[in-house]
Chains A and B, each alone.
Chain A
Amino acid sequence: MKTKTRILAIDTSCDDTSASVVEGRVVLSNVIASQTELHKPYGGVFPTVAKQAHKENINRVIELALKRAQTKPQQLAAIAVTQGPGLAPALEVGIRAAEAFAQEHSLPIIPVNHIEGHALSNLALPKTQLSKKHAQPKFPALAIIVSGGHTQFISIPSIGKYEIVGTTLDDAAGECLDKIGRMLHLGYPAGPVIEEFAKQGNPKAIEFPLPMTSSGDYNMSFSGLKTFARNTLEEITKEKALNKQQIYDFCASAQYSVFRHIMYKLSKLIEKEKYAEIWLGGGVASNTTLRRMIRETIKPDGLQLKVPYTRRLNQDNGAMIGIVASYKLESANENNGTKKIDRKPRWKIETK
């Protein structure tokens, strides 16, 4: 009989409760209970503070993930769960659920780093690719993680080996846009609204500063852009409120400044280090302007940008955790029986 490779994967690192079934890199189901799957009020993220919501959702999310993948617990090789980084009480809910499920069905638990999930999310394949041959990624790869919670450059010499070569020193890129949007009274999270409005604005209308050009490293800082946005807004709105076009222009300029900062550091990085592939993950990876700017930045070096096959894989989700677990399952010694694990709210992806 063929060795079992199917994995049930759980992520409860922050606001969303998610469970997924994967087989190798193929995603059989990927249920995300935020507002998207179970509530969907206008597609936004409702900031229900995690723990309670996760507790309410976790079991039905797991059931739904198994059902959609037409998978019975007996068909599973392991259960994977996000161990960190994330909000401690939220992580706890997923880990406890994984332990209970593992106990009940005598499965090993594979603990996974959430950032590693984002980093490898582009390797996921749709269900139609089941039992087909897949092209293998080339190394070294550079993963760019851009989300509401993280902004990092991660060097990947091979799967399982990671080095953070650049990171934000304060706010995440997505958070900076959310907050600037909030200053413009565009609700929360305002990132997607900014993206929409930016399409109708002039990105050069307001010249934001380009941070950290002389730091000599690949780290980023977005809080200065936020402060610049606030001061500029105070100045402009002293006399009268912004009109529609001014808001569009402000959105376009703010978004451009955030992405330009990432591009500046990215171009310095690929000038110095040689990569075979560039991977993009995280919530802001859905932004088409960001994708276009990265493609333009890496094109002179003959590099291609790899993004997940669906935008669902950009947000926090279980499938990306499953992909990481599949690689871990391949390297044998991870599979050593059920164990108890502890949450690691500040777990760094680095392996050095």
Chain B
Amino acid sequence: MQIIDCAHTPVKDIISTARKVLSSGGLVIFPTETTYGAGVDATNPVAIEKLLAYKSRREGKPLSIAVTDKEMARTYVEINDQADQIISQFLPGPVTVVCKDKGVVSPGVASEFGTLGLRIPDYQLILDIVAAYGKPMTATSANASGKKRPYTVQDILDNLSNTQKEKIDLILDAGKLPHNPPSTVIDTTLETPITLRQGEAAFNAEMTQKAITQSEQETMDLAGKIALQHWNDIAKTGLIIALDGPLGVGKTIFTKGIAKFLGITETITSPTYAYVEEYDYTRHQTSGRLYHADIWKVASAEEASRLGIDEMLGPNSLLLVEWFDVAKDYILSVAEDKKVPVVHIQLQQDGTKRILHISDIETTSYEN
């Protein structure tokens, strides 16, 4: 194990030593703006095994990689709009951006869900080392799993077994680091819609009715009227009302209107957390159930299928789906199987007004 005192060694020498160690599959302990990190060449499988043995008890926790900039990152992960924005805003800095892995780094670096954390440390020496090396270095904290966060080299060494110590090839000692917290992790891989501004309605304008409401009460009343128009459908086959619109536009208000129409007295609260809330109703001697689903957290049609949406459909049932667009094809195919009509409502806000674009989707002619 070699220890370099960073304060008294020319940067050029530190970089060349670190480079040599990395290219021979070695393990480097290095300073960052958060804690000391443990780095190996993220593309070298043998080096990764060494690192995992050093960290011990990872239990499947993924590692992050340090790169120099967004361009370098693109070789290893997919950078979607959200990741792009966060990288521009926060990196270099103490933020780990989780992206979809491209499979370039060695096995064991990415998570079992195919995601990989990205760091651009706000620490010039490390950026210089990675730039000189030309490949990403792992950027996990230098403590063994479950041990104290390392702000000094002594913090690290005190908590290591001899076998672990033997795995370290080089320590870049920059003295005591300021007690900054570990990086904040932001997962950008969910495809959840993050609509702030929704474009013009993507639905066929000829089939679409447009309604404008001026208050929450009007939106609720309109919801009731739409349910009434489809009362026969609800009784005969069940009905799906599909709701789209940006966060905070009033989708839950619309649902409260439906519930009121059905004579449900319970408070309708957001179903986001539990995915689906169920309410029994009785209206004019007809009893049935309102399912209020929110698939905002659902990332794919496959996940939506696990919610058991098909089991919810049937005579006297009304399924109201918020963020329908997330699993549109899946829901429409279920509706087609069950011969359940779908009313699509897209909500927009214009000042204090709400604009509702209402269209019936003919599922029987829906091709997919």
**What is A's interface to B at a CB cutoff of 8 Å?**
13-14, 38-44, 46-52, 85-89, 147-150, 167-172, 174-175, 178-179, 182-183, 185-188, 190, 193, 196-197, 223, 226-231, 233-234, 237, 241-244, 247, 345-346
Contact status A175-B89, CB under 8 Å:
no
Contact A47 B186, beta carbon cutoff 8 Å? no
Q: Is the CB of B113 within 8 A of A89?
A: no
Roughly how many angstroms separate A43 CA and B184 CA in the complex, as a whole number?
A: 11
Query: Is A49's CB under 8 angstroms from B307's CB?
Result: yes
A171, B270: Cβ atoms under 8 Å?
yes
Cβ-closest chain B residue relative to A45: B297
Q: Given A39-B111, A42-B96, A89-B308, answer yes or no on A346-B276 (Cβ-Cβ < 8 Å).
A: no
User: Do A187 and B98 touch (CB < 8 A)?
Assistant: yes
Which residues B133-152 have CB closer than 8 A to chain A? none
B224 at the interface (CB under 8 A from A): no
Of the candidates A187, A196, A247, the one whose C-beta lies within 8 Å of that of B89 is: A247
CB-defined contacts of B272 to chain A, threshold 8 Å = 148-149, 171-172, 175, 178-179
B182 to chain A, nearest CB (A): 10
Question: Which of A40, A147, A228 has the most chain B CB within a 10 Å cutoff?
Answer: A40
- Please indicate the chain A residues that have their CB under 8 angstroms from the CB of B186 in the complex: 186-187, 190, 193
B120 CB to closest chain A CB (Å) equals 14
- In the bound complex, CA of A14 to CA of B308 (Å): 14
Closest to B307 in A: A49
What B residues does A228 contact at CB under 8 A? 248
Tell me how far the C-beta of B90 lies from the nearest C-beta in chain A, rounded to whole angstroms. Answer: 6
Once the chains are docked, how many angstroms separate the CA of A310 from the CA of B111?
27
Q: Is the CB of B112 within 8 A of A39?
A: yes
User: In the complex, A188→B299 CA distance in Å?
Assistant: 11
Min Cβ gap B194→A in Å is 5
Q: Write the nearest CB–CB distance from B296 to chain A, whole angstroms.
A: 8
CA distance A150 to B267 in the complex (A): 13
Beyond A47-B299, A49-B304, A186-B86, 19 additional pairs, beta carbon < 8 A: A14-B273, A39-B61, A39-B113, A41-B112, A41-B113, A46-B113, A86-B274, A87-B307, A167-B269, A171-B272, A172-B272, A179-B272, A183-B247, A234-B196, A244-B89, A244-B93, A345-B274, A345-B277, A346-B266
Set A47, A168, A226: member contacting B297, Cβ < 8 A = A47
* Chain B at the A interface: SS class: loop
**Chain A residues with CB below 8 A from B164, complex form:** none
Q: Which of B89, B115, B246, B268 contacts A41 (CB 8 A)?
A: B115
- Chain A contacts for B349, CB-based, 8 A: 227, 231
How far, in whole Å, are A43 and B249 apart by their CA atoms in the complex?
31
Closest to A316 in B: B273
- Counting CB contacts under 8 A, is B117 at the interface? yes
A-chain residues with CB within 8 Å of residue B89 when the two chains form the complex: 241-244, 247
In the docked arrangement, what's the CA distance between A48 and B270, Å?
Answer: 19
Measured CA separation A273–B82 after assembly (Å):
47
Tell me how far the C-beta of B162 lies from the nearest C-beta in chain A, rounded to whole angstroms. Answer: 27
Q: A237–B197 Cα gap in the complex (Å)?
A: 11
Q: Is residue B298 within 8 Å, beta carbon to beta carbon, of the partner chain?
A: yes
Separation of A216 and B246 alpha carbons in the complex (Å): 30
Give, as a whole number of angstroms, the nearest-CB distance from B36 to chain A: 19
Q: How far is the CA of A14 from the CA of B273 in the complex (A)?
A: 8
CB nearest to B291 among chain A residues = A88
CA distance A150 to B298 in the complex (A): 19
Cα separation A223 to B194 with both chains bound (whole Å): 16
* Complex: chain B residue closest to A39, CB-CB: B60
A343, B276: Cα distance in complex, Å: 14
Nearest-CB residue, chain A, relative to B268: A170
- Residues on B with C-beta less than 8 A from A86 are 274
Q: Please judge, given known A-B contacts A49-B304, A230-B246, A233-B196, whether A187 and B190 are in contact too, CB under 8 Å.
A: yes
Q: Most chain-B Cβ atoms within 10 A of its Cβ — which of A50, A147, A223? A: A223
Contact of A85 with B194 at beta-carbon distance under 8 Å, contacts A42-B117, A188-B187 already known = no
Distance of A49 Cα from B190 Cα, bound (Å): 13
Are A227 and B248 in contact (CB-based, < 8 A)?
Answer: yes
B199 contacts the other chain (Cβ, under 8 Å)?
Answer: no
Contact A170 B252 (CB under 8 A): yes
Q: Which 6 A-B pairs have the closest CB atoms?
A: A149-B273, A227-B248, A226-B248, A41-B111, A187-B187, A49-B306
Residue in A13, A38, A186 whose beta carbon sits within 8 Å of that of B60 in the complex: A38
B129 CB, min distance to chain A CBs, angstroms: 24
Chain A residues within 8 Å of B85, by CB:
185, 241
CB <8 Å contact, B306 and A188: no
A198 to chain B, nearest CB (A): 11
Find residues 63-116 in chain B having any chain A CB closer than 8 Å to their own CB: 82, 85-86, 88-90, 93, 96, 98, 111-113, 115
Smallest beta-carbon distance B359→chain A, Å? 24
Q: Given A171-B272, A226-B248, A185–B86 Cβ distance below 8 Å? A: yes
Cross-chain pairs A/B with CB under 8 angstroms, 17 sampled: A39-B111, A40-B60, A47-B297, A49-B303, A49-B306, A86-B274, A87-B275, A89-B307, A150-B273, A171-B252, A179-B247, A182-B247, A188-B297, A196-B184, A197-B184, A345-B274, A345-B278
